[in-house]
Chain A
């Protein structure tokens, strides 16, 4: 069991409250996933030609200012580090591929949580409430966000094993369920050059989406491919620069509820996480059908 929450704002006025609302949703899903929690926020797009990276350090007192100085030397311009607990976000005058390559060569001790233009990923092992407080989630704004509470079944409880998993520029995946062919599929994907940080099954699903889209598939095609190539149970929510997409496996053992008002669109594992949103009592509610891709926002979902 795990909990999934996603919220997409239709009104700019709601953007400042995104973190407050997502926090309340995650609290409602804490009992579905007490082991760890994580979020992906889409906000403050980097300027054209720049990229934004989220980094995690396991060190006690990481010197983010020193890293900013190194990045400035390597790339010319870089933002001040935006530090949240164990994570820091940098906006760099570089494309994401070059920044990523430089980071993995010069700072292999740091974990790249996400890269893109607007995505920021934060996650932490431990109770969701601690995560919400330590990362000051309630103060975060943004256009849309996905969150996850994890009850581990397939692999260890660590920050790296937590969701969301970054799957490509401005893309991430959260998963409720379990995959049974992940070891075999991971080896196949590794031969295709996809790299993994953990032995987690959901990370393999994220790697699968990355690989399919690298090979030219749209997000929708990549998600439809999951139904042929992944063996197991899943409700997936995928964050994109413009919105999010949702897929449940055809057997649909794992729950999902979607809701829409004039002000927002939400997905959650259970209605109780939607009930805390403003105007929920008047929302249009439905259960996404098994084996069908749903999406909000425009590109890249066809």
Chain B
């Protein structure tokens, strides 16, 4: 029997009851730092595991505060708990998986990568989304997808009021009810490529109890942001 590959499997633990968030982030930013890190006792602290730039695997054992995993690049960050405001804001690539619920502005302005929230996300989920994909196993709060420009938001339960207000070209998919649509957001036909997109995102999120066939698609009516010469007088 071969000896286990300890280099690959070694997990460095970081206990935030003893160490500071700044020390943790410095360690995670160190190019020679550990590939796998487990963070203990996060205690709702802010800015945990922000600004990573490498294919690290981070597991956070508990609830985190604001801006967890912000600006993430390449890393996979799993939160075994709830998140405060702005989880994975401005993520560039990689993946952030939240096993609990997320507070408002989850995935704000994220440009790439995948954000999965297994609980609910509250208000303004995916606000100003710029290319990342977000999958929420539960529901999202009001003003979700506000001014979202690119990327997809998949909601397996309900969406709150004013979904997709002032939407640009992001695609919003909702399986259950939508309380109301925001300005310039309309329901659109689910075509083959949309079923494929939802199926693929659910698979990547490892959610197997939702069927792409049950989702509706919402997008921009493109009346709000396109310059139209006949409306010149009203600009």
Contact = CB atoms under 8 A, between A and B. Distances in A.
A252 B44 contact: no
Contacts of A275: 43-44, 63
Contacts of A252: 104, 122-123, 141-142
A299 B101 CA distance: 32
A272 B65 contact: yes
A271 B44 contact: yes
Given A252-B104, A287-B101, A290-B142, A271 B63 contact: yes
Majority SS of interface residues in chain A? loop
Contact of A287 (B43, B62, B65, B103): B103
Contacts of A274: 44
Contacts of B65: 270-272
B45 A281 contact: no
Contacts, number: 42
Nearest to B41: A275
A285 interface: yes
B134 interface: no
A255 interface: yes
Interface string A54-94: 00000000000000000000000000000000000000000
Contacts of A281: 62
Interface string A262-278: 00000000111111100
Contacts of B43: 272, 275-276
A128 to B, nearest CB: 18
A280 B180 CA distance: 35
Nearest to B103: A287
Contacts of A289: 141
26 contacts: A252-B122, A252-B141, A255-B104, A270-B44, A270-B65, A270-B66, A270-B84, A271-B44, A271-B63, A271-B65, A271-B82, A271-B84, A272-B43, A272-B44, A274-B44, A275-B44, A275-B63, A276-B43, A281-B62, A285-B100, A286-B101, A287-B103, A287-B122, A290-B123, A290-B141, A290-B142
Given A273-B44, A274-B44, A275-B63, 5 more contacts: A252-B104, A255-B103, A270-B84, A271-B44, A271-B65
Interface of B: 43-46, 62-63, 65-66, 82, 84-85, 100-101, 103-104, 122-123, 141-142
